[in-house]
Structure 1
Amino acid sequence: MAKTILITGASSGLGAEMARQFAAKGYNLALCARRVERLEELKRDIQASNPSVKVTLKALDVTDSDAVFRVFAAFKEEFEHLDRVIVNAGMGKGGSLGTGLFQYNKATIETNLVAALAQCEAALEIFRAQQSGHLVTISSMSALRGMPRAMTAYAASKAGLVNLTEGIRADLLRAKSPIKVSCIMPGFIRSELNEKVKNTPFMVDTVPGVQAMVRAIEKEKPQAYVPSWPWTIMGFLMKRLPLKVVMKLG
């Protein structure tokens, strides 16, 4: 029987490409996002290439916590079993603190961390009842250090997500649970979130970047820097370099 993956924020960028690549591997898909028309277009594209794959869509604004629990439960009822949930929905609006952009910085942290908490809670309720499942959170290499300007709130939210994910893993390990937990930390992968960013070192295109993400997810690694080259080395350096050097990456 084909396994089922639930992906949030699946209407564009890394989420949409993950859906395409997992479908090509034979996974059934539970896809949700705010923009249902984009999801419908993605579903047509996926099923044209993979007609045997079941794709179900639902509208979801992840900042609506009640809706997160409701939509996840509806997917579970429809598929009977969810094998993997990928907490992918996110945003990156914002700017230097104290410059009048509080509403955007707040929205970024609420979407990337508070809404992620709701998604993790909803997924784990299902997994605990099933006594199986794989929770995946999509963080960022920027989580490793503080970042300047528009990256400040974003990096803080992704650092929170790394620690949230590790705390969940620790709790499940303590309980000797069979549930798996992974945190994926992409480097610079081209997507709609960063399409206006120019001249960024080590930027890779969406397809090969997501291929690296999918490989790491399928290995169920507790934590993975992707693509591994150069980000495994960069991760080691980012934790140790002076802030004035690290901030040039932001």
Structure 2
Amino acid sequence: MRRNILITGASSGLGAEMARQFAANGHNLALTARRTERLDALRSELVERYPQISVVTHSLDVTDHDQVFKVFRLIDGELPLDRIIVNAGLGKGAPLGTGRFDANRDTALTNFVGALAQVEAALELFRARNAGHLVLIASISALRGFPKTVTTYAATKAGLASIGEGLRLELMGKPIKASTIYPGYIRSEMNEHVPKAPFIVDTETGVRAMVAAIEAEKAKAYVPARPWWPLAQVMRVAPLPLLKRMI
């Protein structure tokens, strides 16, 4: 069992719900985010409900790369980490060329460069002990290019998925494992402004599928598996006119 888990971006949405479900499974947790007041509230909730586990919290802005390395090392000293979940991310964006480079830049810096810093910091710890499980939270949008406000977001998640595959090639047959999780449409704070999305599920249901895939240490998982596993196979090969109707 991967006893001690670090989750970044744990103050809300999928990260907070993963914390709740991993706590229910008996894992000790290290939770990071920029909004420490939410982390503190979540910690209080978890230790009251599950007094047998340890929960530590730390402020972390993943775009501060020096801080990423510092905080990961600090947490590992408090709670030797068996699994690190790279979850922190932004969902904002705008169609390219419409004057909102700032929004697309922030998403790229957080979701890809910030994630890269987390991967580097995690692998530094895991390589030192030749053990560990790295989990990358990508998105079903990583499978193909997406239009308009999602173009940059999808590109960052595709980059993250590529990192995961590269690591699996490098680490094949070794004790360090890397998983890439591709959530479909799961209701969260990030997408609460989206009125409708195909096959969307509530946060608890979607995260339950994510946690099951992570606990099983699947190399890749499209979650929830129904309908996203079969849809993923179609999305990979669909011609653009069909893809546009699907998304």
TM-score w.r.t. structure 2 length?
0.97
Q: CA deviation at 1:246?
A: 1.8
Q: Which residue of 1 aligns with 2:146?
A: 147
Matched residue type, 1:126: L
Alignment partner of 1:201 out of 198, 202, 219 = 198
Partner-residue secondary structure (3-state), 1:170: helix
Aligned to 1:121: 120
Equivalence for 1:191: 188
Cα distance, 1:244 vs. partner?
A: 2.6
- Per-residue CA deviations over 1:194-225 (Å, capped at 9, x if unaligned) read 01111211000000100000000011011000
The residue identity in structure 2 corresponding to 1:99 is T
Runs of 4 or more consecutive aligned structure 1 residues displaced over 2 Å after TM superposition: 247-250
5 Å matches for 1:7-46? 7-46=7-46
- Distance, in Å, in 1 between the alignment partners of 2:41 and 2:51 is 15
1:234 matched to 2:234? The reply is no
Residues 2, 90 of structure 1: alpha-carbon distance in 2 compared, 3 angstrom cutoff: closer
- Contact 2:2–2:82 (CA under 8 A) maintained in structure 1: no
Distance 1:106 1:199 in 2: 26
Q: Residue 6 of structure 2 aligns to a residue in which SS?
A: strand
Match of 1:5 in 2: 5
CA-CA distance at 1:33 after TM superposition: 0.3
Structure 1 length-normalised TM:
0.96
Residue deviations 1:134-166 (CA, integer Å, cap 9, x gap): 000000000111111110000000000000111
CA 248–66 in structure 1, closer or farther in 2 if over 3 Å, else same? farther
| Partner Cα separation in structure 1 for residue 12 and residue 176 of structure 2 | 28
Question: Which amino acid is the alignment partner of residue 145 of structure 1?
Answer: R
- Gap regions ≥5 residues in structure 1: none
Asked if 2 retains the 8 angstrom alpha-carbon contact of 1:92 and 1:150, the reply is: no
Structure 2: distance between partners of 1:237 and 1:177: 32
Aligned to 1:59: 59
- The whole-number CA distance in structure 1 between the counterparts of 2:10 and 2:129 is 24
CA RMSD of aligned residues (A): 1.2
Deviation at 1:2, TM superposition (A): 7.7
Query: What SS is found at the alignment partner of 1:239?
Result: helix
Superposed, 1:155-234 pairs within 5 Å as 155-173=154-172, 176-234=173-231
Aligned letter for 2:48? A
Contact conserved, 1:2 with 1:28, CA < 8 A, in 2?
no
Match of 2:77 in 1: 77
Letter of the 2:29 counterpart: L
